[in-house]
Amino acid sequence: MDAEQYNQCVKSHSDALFRFAFKNLKDRDEANEIVQIAFEKLWLHHAKIDAAKAKSYLFTTAYHAMADLWRKSKRLTEMTPQVEQEKPTSPNEFNGLRQILHNALARLPEIQRTVILLRDYEGYSYEEIGEITHLNESQVKVYIFRGRQTLKTIIGSINAVI
Separation between Cα atoms, residue 32 and residue 15, nearest integer Å: 10
Q: Looking at 51-59, 75-83, 84-92, 146-154, which segment touches other proteins (CB under 8 A)? A: 146-154
Nearer residue to other proteins within complex by CB, 77 or 157? 157
Nearest approach, Cβ of residue 134 and other proteins (Å) = 17
Distance (Å) of CA 49 to CA 16, 57, 98, 131 = 20, 8, 37, 16
> Taking CB under 8 A as the rule, does residue 44 contact other proteins?
yes
CA distance 155 to 15: 27
Q: Is 39 in the site for other proteins (CB under 8 A)?
A: yes
Binding mask 110-139 for other proteins (x = CB under 8 A): ------xx--xx------------------
Please report how close the Cβ of residue 83 comes to other proteins at its closest, in angstroms: 27
